[in-house]
Structure 1
Amino acid sequence: MQINIKNRLLEIEKILGNLAIFIARHPKWIIFSVFLLVFLSASQLPKITVDTSTEGFLHATDPARVAYDEFRNQFGRDEKIVVAISTNDIFKLEKLNQLKALHQRLAAEVPHLFEITSLINARYTQGNGDSLLVDDLMTQWPESQLDAEKLKQKALNNPLYRDLLVDSQGEFTVLVLESNTYTNQDIDSKRVSDNKINSGIPEIPIEETILEDAFSEFDSLAQPNEATKQKEFISDKENSEMVAAVSQIVTDFNSDDFKIYVAGSPSVTAFLKSSIMGDMQKFIVMILAAISIILALLFKRLSGVILPLISVFLAVVVTLGMMAWNGTPIKVMTQVMPSFLLAVGIGASIHVLAIFYKNYDTHKDKEQALIYTFEHSGLAIVMTSLTTAAGMLSFAPSNVAPVADLGIFSALGVMIALLFTLVLLPALLIILPIKSKSINNDSEHHDFLDKFLKTIARFSQTNAKPIVIFSLIFMALSLGAASQIGYSHNPLKWFPPEHETRIATETIDKEMNGSISLELVIDTHQENGLYNLELLKSLDKVTLELQQIKGDKFFVGKALSLVDVLKEIHQALNKNQPEFYRLTSNEKLIPQEILLFENSGSDDLQDFVDSQFSKARITVKVPWIDAFEYDELLNQVAEILKRNLPSSVSITTTGMIPLLAETSSAAVSSSGTSYLIAFAVIGIMLILLLHSVKLGLLAMIPNLLPVLFVLAVMVVFQFPLDLFTMLIGAIVIGIAVDDIVHFMHNFRRFHQQGHSTEKSVEMTLISSGRAMMITTLVLFVGFMLYLFASMTNLFLFGLLTALAFVIALIAVFLLAPALMALTYPEKANQRETL
C-alpha cells in the first residue's frame, strides 16, 4: 500500500515537473495566450450591471419572485419613492405653496416617473345630485389662509388621506412617486391628472404621443398580455437615476421649518448600489496596497511584488468579465468577490515564489527551481485551490440568488487564479531578468522564524493531550451554543444609524405608520366577480381587521382596497354625509357606482382591480423591520384572510414583505446545506489527497475549530446570523483547509521518509509554516479592510472572518501537530507506515 501511494505521488510530481519544463521552454506562447484570454474577458466589462433590488435576492424562478413579477405586470410597481415633509403646519399658505412647487418640480424633472401623488393632486370625490365629481383636492387653489384652513379640515377628515398622505395633525405629509413598470421607456408616462393640478398652477406641456404612451401603459397594467410579460422591469440604473434626481431636487426646498426626508425601497436600493460600487473600488485599491507591502517585506524583490499582483489581478478581471458575459449582475453579496479573490488568490503565488526563490538563490537555475517548486508543492497548491473552490461552490445551490452567484463565480475565480499562478506567473519568472540573492541574506530572519516554529512544534508535541482535550471541549460547547444564535435580515440596518436613508425611513415609519407594503391579490376566477356584495363585505371586514394588527415590533398602519373607493363613492352620492361612508346595501348599485366613478375621468380603480373586475388588490402598509419578525405578521394576515374570505377565491401574498421574508427563510435553509456540502466535499478531497480516511477526517477537526469559534463569539456578543455572517462558515472551511493541506501533505512526506512524528512536525512547520503565516496575514488584512466599509453588515463580516483565519492558523500550528502526536506515537527515527 505504501509503495502504491508513493508511486502515485511520484507520478503526479513527475507530471507537474513536466508542466514546469513546458512552461520554462514556451513562456512567450503562454503569456500571449493568457493575455488574449484577459483581453477577450475585459472587453465584456462595460456590459456588467449592478442589481441591489429586493427581488434580486431571489432567483427568477423562485415562486415568491414569480408571484411578485405577475403582480407587477398586473398592477405596476409597488416600490415607491417617498418624499416626506415635516413642518409645523403644512396647511399654512406659505407651506402649501412650497409643497406645490416641490410637486411640480418632481413631476417635471424626475426621469422614468409614472405617477406622483400628494395633497396637491389627491383624489377628492363628491356628489352633485345624481352625478359624481372626481377631482383634485386643491382644484381651487386657496387665496387666503381661511381658504387653506377649509382645505385642512377637508383633508384631515378624509379617512383615505390619513396616514397615507398626511398625519392626523397636518404636520407631516408625503409625496409618493411611482416609477414606470418597465425599462427602456424614454418618456415620463405620468398620469395626465398629475400635471393638471389646478388652475393656479401652470400646466406642464404634454405631447400627444406621451398621452398615447401613458394610456398604453395603463392598458398594459390593466390587462397584461404575453408581450407585456416578456418586457424587462425597470432597471437598477433607471431606479438610481430617479432617486438621484429626487435627492437633487429636494435640496432646493429643504430647510429647518420644511424638513424633507427621502425614503422608500427604491432609495434603499439606490444607496445600496452606490455603497457597493464605492466599497468595491475602495477595497480593491486597499487590498492591492496591503498585499504589495506584505510581499515587499516577505520577498524584498520587485518581482516578488509585481508578478503575483499581475497574476491575481488579471484573474479578477477575467472573472468579472465572465460575469458580464453571462449577464450576471453584481449584487449585494458578490461585491466582496474581487477583494476576496485578491486575498485568496495571492496565497498560491506566495507558496510558489517562496520555494522558487529559495531554490533559485541556491542553484542559480530558473528552470531547475521551477521544476523543484512544482514537484515539491505543486500538488498541495492545486489541492488548496480545489478545496477553496469547493468551499465556495457549496453556495451554488443556495436559494438566495446573490449567494449562489458568489459561490459559482468565486469558485471560478479561484480556479482562474490557480491557472494563472501555475502558468502565467512561472512564464513571467522565466522570461524576465530576475537576479538571484545570496542565501545568507535572510539567515537571521529565518533563524528567528525557525526557532519560533521549532518551539511551536515541541510545545504541541509535549502538550498534545491537553491541547486536544481543550479543543474538543471548546468545540462541543460552541456547537451547543450555536442553537442560541439569532437570525437577521434587514437591509435598512446595513446603513449606519446616521445615514439619511435610514433616518428618513424610521421617521416616516413613526409619523405615517409605515413605509413599505404587503400586497394581497384576491382572485374570484370570474369576470365581474367583484360585483358580489357579500364578497365586498368580506373584503371590508378583512381590511378592518388587518388595521387592528399590532405586535411587539410590527403593526399595520393602513389597509386599502376597492372597498375604500366604493365607500368614498357611496358617501359622495349621499350628499357627502360621513355616515354614508360605507358599502351600499343594494348589490345592483355597485356596477352603477363603479361606472359613475370611471366616467368621472379617474383611472384610480386600476390600482385596486384588474380590467375584468375579477381580481382585487389589498395594500397593507407596515413599518420596515427585520424580515424574520414579519413571520408572525404574515401568519396573522393569513389567518384573517382564511377566516373571512370564501374558499372559492384564491389569495396571493406578495410585495416587499414576502420577498424579504422568503429571502431570510431561504438564507437559513441554504446556509445549512452549504455547510454540509462544504464539509462533505472537502473531507472527501482530503481523504483522496492524503490517501487515508483516518488522516482526512483528522484534518477536518482543526478545520472546524475556527468555524465553531466564530459561532461562540457571535453567541457571546449576541451578533445575529445575517446574509453575510452566514457565509463565514463555508468560506473559512474552504480557505482555512489550505493550511491543513500543506501541513498534512508535508507531514506525510517527511514521515514516509522515515522521520519521527515529532521531527516530521518540526520539518513541516519550518518548510511550510512561514508561507502559512504570510498567507494568513494576507487573509487577515484583506478581511479586516471590510472594517472600512460604508455598510455595517460588512464590518462584522470582515471582523469575524479575519479572526477565524487567525484561529485557523493557531489550530494548524497546535491542534494538528497534537493530533498527529496522539495518532502516531513513536520514538525518534522510528519508521511509521501511513
Structure 2
Amino acid sequence: MNAVMQLFTGVQRHPWLMMLGLLLVTVLALGAAGQLQINSTPYMIDNSHPSRVADHDTKRLFSNTGEQAFVAIDNPQGNVFNARSLATVQELSRTFERMLLISEADSQRLTALAEDGVLTMPQANALLQDGLTPQDIPALKRLAQQESISALDKAWLENLAVRLRPVKRVRSLARMEHIEAFTGGLDVRPLMKTLPQNDAERQALREAVLANPMFINGLVSPKGNATTIQVEFNIDEDDSPSMLLAYGEISRIINDVSAREGFSDRVYLSGPPMIAAQTATSMEQDNQTLLPGVLLVIIVVLLLSFGRLQGVVAPLMIAVIALFWTLGTMAAFGVKQNIVTSMLPVFIIAIAVCDAIHFLATYYRLLPANPDRAARTQAASDALRKLFWPMLVTTITTMAGFFALSWTEVIFIREFGIFVGLGVLFAWIVTMLFLPALVILWKAPPPRFGLLVSTLVSRFMGLLGRVAGHGKAVVMAVVVLMAGGLLYTQQNLTVDNQVIGYFEADSRIRQDDAAINANFGGSTVVSFLLESKEVDAFKQPQVMLAVEKLQQQLNNDPLVGFTISPVNFIERMHQVLSAGEGETSGSAADYRLPSDLTQPMLAQYYLLYENANGQDLFDVVDRRFSNGRILTVLHSDRSSEVGGVIERVMNEARNVLPAGVSIRAAGYGEILVSTTDAVVGGQIQSLLLAVVLIALLVVAILRSLRLGLLALLPLLFTLVGVFTLMALTGTALDIGTSIIAAISFGIGIDYAIHTIAALRLSKGQDHAELVANALQYCGKPILINTLALGFGFLVLTLSGYQALVNLGYFISLTMLFSALFALLVLPAFHRPDAPQATVAERADEPQAEPANA
C-alpha cells in the first residue's frame, strides 16, 4: 500500500499530464454514458425468482396471460350501449389489432445491416419493398437464425418481428365470446359480431351482457355505463422500450378518436405499458430536477464552507467526473437506468465531494500566505500523504455499505448498490489524482471566510464538546430514548410496497387507475394456479367444487372485484342449458354448478363448448384439463393488502383442495408481494453483511476490538431513531427506505472513525477538556460533510416518485443522526491510554485530518 501512496504522490510532479489523462478517460466515459438506456419495467426481481417462474408457467399453460393494456370507455350519460360508444369500441378494437410499432429508423437499420454485409441487399430490398408489414415476420425470424449474425443484431431482428405484430388479441364487446343455448346444444359467438343497427338491438345487447355474470366488473361495469378493451401483447414483460412504444401508439390512437367532433366519452388507461410510460416520465422529470438540484445544494454548501471559488469548483469537478465514469461503466456493461438507479447522480455527487472537502481543509491549513508553485506543491503533497490512509479506509467502508445492497433479490437495488459503490471508488481515485494537480496549477490563498474558519462554528463545537464531556448522562439518556423507540418501532413499523400509488396524485395513471377501480373490479391481477399431474383433473367434481369454494372466498373479500375460473364456464353452460322454451340464457338462479355434478356431465359440458368452437375457456384451464387457474382482479396494488388476500386463499386451499392438486399464486400482484418480501429479506441480509464487513474493517483500522464494536453503536442508535420516526409518521419500509440501513452503516461509520481518531489523538487536563479539544478538531469537517450529504440527499424529495421522496427525508435524517450520535455518544467510552497510532491516524504531524464522511 505504501507503494500505491508513493505512486499517487509521485504523479503530482506532472500535473498537466495527469489532468490530460483524466480528461481523456472522462471523454470516453461521457461517450459511453450517452448510450445509457432506460428500464421502466415494474418487474424488479429476476426471472429466476419463484414468483417470476410461476408467472411464466401461467403464461405457458393458459391464454389471456400476456401483458395487457386496459382501455376503459365511460359514457357520461350512463349508458355505454349507445351507437357512438359501440362504434368507438369496434373501431378501437380493430385498430389495436392492426397496430404496428415501427419507425423509419427500423428501415434505416435494415439498410445499414445490408451495407455492412450482415444481410444481403436482396434480403433487405425484399423486406423494404412495400414497407415493413406483419408478412415480413417469417423472413425476419429466419434472418435472426443465421449463424453469422451477431447476438445484438439477432436480438434486434427478433424484437422487430414482435413489433410488427405487437398485439396478440383484443377482448372487448366486439370480440368477447358469448355463450347461449340453441336447439340441441350451445352457441358460442362474438358478443357484437356487427354493430347493432337500432335502439332495440342495442338494448338487447345491453340486456344480454348485463345478464351474464361472467362479464360484470370485468368487461362492463355493473351499471352499464362503462366497458373495457383489453389489449394483450406479444411483447415480453421486461421489454420496457417496446412497452413505451405501445403506450405511445395506444395514446395516439385514442387521441385521434377522442378529438373527433361530438365525441363525449371519457377514456382511461391502465396496465403495465401505462406503468412503464409513467415510470419513464417520472425518471425523465427526475433527471431534469435531481441532478441540477443536488449540484445547486452542493455549490451552496461548498461556498458557505470555503468562501472561495476554488473550494466550490474543485469538489464539483471531481463529483461530476466520478458521475460520468459511473454512468459510462453502467452503459458499458449493458445496465439500464431504472427507477432506483435514477437517484444514483444524487448519491454520487453528494458523496464524491466529501473526500475533496477533507483534502482542501488540510491543504488550506498547510498552505502559507501568498504561496508560490513550490509551496502549493509541497502543501498538496503533505495533504495527500496525511490523508491517503484515512480516505482509503473510509472509502472502503462506504463501498462495503453499498456493496452489501447487492445481497438482495431485487435487481434494481442490487444495481444501485454496486454502481454507487463503484462511484465512491471512482471519486476517491479522481480526488487522489485530480485535486492535488488542480490546486498546484490553480493559485489560490487559504480561505478567510466560511464555516471552515468560522468562530461561530467553533463555539458550537465547544458546546457539543461540553455536552459530550458528560458522557454517562448523555449515553443513559440516549439509551432510554432508543429503548423506547425500539419497542415502538417493533410494534408499529409497517412493511409495504406499491407502484401506482407512488406516482403523483395528479398524474394520469393515478387518476385513470382510480376511475377504473371505481367502475370495474380493479386493475391488479393475481392468478391462483391450480396444478395436477393427472390428465382431466378438472373434469372431476371434487376438484371443481374445491375451486368453487376458493372462488367464493375471494368473491367475499372486499379487496377483490372480479374473479373467473373454469367453474364460471360450467355455471354459465348450466344456466343456458336450463333455459326454457324460446330462451337463450336461462334464469339467474341457474347460474351455478349442477347439484348432481358428475365426471361424465363435466366432460359433456366441455365437449359441447369445444364443439361450438369456444376458446376463452382456455384462459383458465389448459388443453389437457390438468391445470386451472382462478383469475383474480383486486382494487389495490398495496403489497400488504394483496399479500393478505393471497395468504387467506392459501390457508383455505389447504383445507379444501383434494389430494394431488397444489396451488401457487402468480401474476403481477403476486410479484409485487414477492418484491416486498425480497425488500425486507434484502434489508436484513444487507444489514447483516454491512455490519460484519464494516465491523471487521473498523477493528482492523482501529486495532481494537472494543473500539471497533463501539464504533457501530452510534449507527445502531441512528437506525432505531430513523425507524422510530418512520413508525411515528406512518412511513412504510418500502423499495426506497429499505436501503437506509446499509447506507447508514456505509457512510455513517466514517463519522465514528473520525471521532474516535480525534479522541485518541486529543489531550487535555481532564476528560471534558480532552473531548472538547477533539470535537473542535474533527467537528468542522464532519459538520460540512453532514450538510453536504444531508441537504444533498434531501434533493430526492423533489422526485415525482413517492418512494424516493420518503428515502430523501429519512436518509437525510440518517446523516444528521449518525453525526450527532458519533459526536455525543462515543466520547463516553474513550479511555485516554495513548494507544499506538492506527492506520487511520498515521501522519507526519501529531494530528491527521479526518477523511471522507
Task: Quickly name the TM-score band, shorter chain normalised.
Answer: 0.7 to 0.9
> Contact conserved, 1:468 with 1:819, CA < 8 A, in 2?
no
CA distance in 2 between counterparts of 1:40 and 1:418 reads: 19
CA distance in 2 between counterparts of 1:181 and 1:560 reads: 24
The residue that corresponds to 1:221 in the other structure is none
Q: How does 1:685-724 map to 2 (within 5 A)?
A: 685-724=697-736
Deviations 1:139-165 (A, max 9, x none): 242222222111111111112111111
The residue that corresponds to 1:90 in the other structure is 80
- Give the deviation of 1:444 after TM superposition: 10
> Contact conserved, 1:102 with 1:253, CA < 8 A, in 2?
no
- Give the deviation of 1:655 after TM superposition: 0.9
Matched, 1:390 2:380: no
The residue that corresponds to 1:487 in the other structure is 495
The residue that corresponds to 1:734 in the other structure is 746
Q: How does 1:617-636 map to 2 (within 5 A)?
A: 617-636=629-648
- Give the deviation of 1:236 after TM superposition: 0.9
Q: Quickly say closer, same or farther: Cα 1:558–1:440, change in 2 above 3 A.
A: closer
> Contact conserved, 1:80 with 1:264, CA < 8 A, in 2?
yes
CA distance in 2 between counterparts of 1:44 and 1:598 reads: 56
CA distance in 2 between counterparts of 1:125 and 1:717 reads: 52
Q: How does 1:44-443 map to 2 (within 5 A)?
A: 44-45=32-33, 48-54=36-42, 56-75=43-62, 77-87=65-75, 88-109=78-99, 111=101, 112-130=166-184, 132-182=186-236, 233=237, 235-251=239-255, 252-253=257-258, 258-362=265-369, 364=372, 365-430=375-440, 433-437=441-445, 441-442=448-449
CA distance in 2 between counterparts of 1:645 and 1:464 reads: 63
Equivalent position SS for 2:335: coil
- Give the deviation of 1:519 after TM superposition: 0.8
Matched, 1:509 2:514: no
- Give the deviation of 1:343 after TM superposition: 0.5
The residue that corresponds to 1:771 in the other structure is 781
The residue that corresponds to 1:559 in the other structure is 563
Give the stretch that moved more between structures: 403-412 or 19-28.
19-28
The residue that corresponds to 2:475 in the other structure is 468
Give the residue type in structure 2 aligned to 1:158.
N
> Contact conserved, 2:542 with 2:658, CA < 8 A, in 1?
no
Equivalent position SS for 1:422: helix
The residue that corresponds to 1:25 in the other structure is 13
Equivalent position SS for 1:523: strand
CA distance in 1 between counterparts of 2:263 and 2:566 reads: 39
- Give the deviation of 1:177 after TM superposition: 1.6
- Give the deviation of 1:309 after TM superposition: 2.1
CA distance in 2 between counterparts of 1:459 and 1:357 reads: 28
The residue that corresponds to 2:137 in the other structure is none
The residue that corresponds to 2:526 in the other structure is 518
> Contact conserved, 2:9 with 2:384, CA < 8 A, in 1?
no
- Give the deviation of 1:325 after TM superposition: 3.2
Matched, 1:607 2:661: no
CA distance in 2 between counterparts of 1:110 and 1:506 reads: 29
- Give the deviation of 1:494 after TM superposition: 0.9
CA distance in 1 between counterparts of 2:171 and 2:515 reads: 20
The residue that corresponds to 1:229 in the other structure is none
Matched, 1:539 2:566: no
Deviations 1:202-257 (A, max 9, x none): xxxxxxxxxxxxxxxxxxxxxxxxxxxxxxx5501111222233334334528995
The residue that corresponds to 1:210 in the other structure is none
CA distance in 1 between counterparts of 2:573 and 2:458 reads: 89
Equivalent position SS for 1:520: strand
Q: Quickly say closer, same or farther: Cα 1:657–1:478, change in 2 above 3 A.
A: same
Deviations 1:166-208 (A, max 9, x none): 12221122221211144xxxxxxxxxxxxxxxxxxxxxxxxxx
Q: Quickly say closer, same or farther: Cα 1:558–1:778, change in 2 above 3 A.
A: same
> Contact conserved, 1:72 with 1:181, CA < 8 A, in 2?
no
Give the residue type in structure 1 aligned to 2:722.
V
Give the stretch that moved more between structures: 96-105 or 347-356.
96-105
CA distance in 1 between counterparts of 2:451 and 2:654 reads: 78
CA distance in 1 between counterparts of 2:677 and 2:311 reads: 46
CA distance in 2 between counterparts of 1:633 and 1:71 reads: 19
Give the residue type in structure 2 aligned to 1:814.
L
Q: Quickly say closer, same or farther: Cα 1:462–1:531, change in 2 above 3 A.
A: closer
Deviations 1:661-704 (A, max 9, x none): 21222222321232233233223322221222232233322333
Give the residue type in structure 1 aligned to 2:80.
I
Give the residue type in structure 2 aligned to 1:150.
A
Deviations 1:721-742 (A, max 9, x none): 2222222222122212222222
Identity, % of aligned positions: 25
Equivalent position SS for 1:53: coil
CA distance in 1 between counterparts of 2:401 and 2:518 reads: 43
Equivalent position SS for 1:423: helix
CA RMSD between the two structures: 3.2
Q: Quickly say closer, same or farther: Cα 1:812–1:555, change in 2 above 3 A.
A: closer
- Give the deviation of 1:506 after TM superposition: 2.8
Q: Quickly say closer, same or farther: Cα 1:618–1:419, change in 2 above 3 A.
A: same
- Give the deviation of 1:340 after TM superposition: 0.7
> Contact conserved, 1:743 with 1:764, CA < 8 A, in 2?
yes
Q: Quickly say closer, same or farther: Cα 1:445–1:680, change in 2 above 3 A.
A: closer
Give the residue type in structure 2 aligned to 1:414.
V
CA distance in 2 between counterparts of 1:156 and 1:682 reads: 64
Residue of structure 2 aligned with 1:499, choices 483, 507, 516: 507
The residue that corresponds to 2:825 in the other structure is 815
CA distance in 2 between counterparts of 1:34 and 1:73 reads: 51
- Give the deviation of 1:34 after TM superposition: 4.0
Q: Quickly say closer, same or farther: Cα 1:446–1:560, change in 2 above 3 A.
A: same
Give the residue type in structure 1 aligned to 2:211.
N
Q: Quickly say closer, same or farther: Cα 1:757–1:687, change in 2 above 3 A.
A: farther
- Give the deviation of 1:42 after TM superposition: 4.2
Give the stretch that moved more between structures: 304-313 or 811-820.
811-820
Unaligned runs of 5+ in 1: 1-11, 183-232, 826-830
> Contact conserved, 2:355 with 2:431, CA < 8 A, in 1?
yes
Give the residue type in structure 1 aligned to 2:218.
L
Give the stretch that moved more between structures: 367-376 or 564-573.
564-573
CA distance in 1 between counterparts of 2:90 and 2:519 reads: 21
Give the residue type in structure 1 aligned to 2:311.
G
Deviations 1:56-87 (A, max 9, x none): 32233222222222322333645422222332
Give the residue type in structure 2 aligned to 1:340.
F
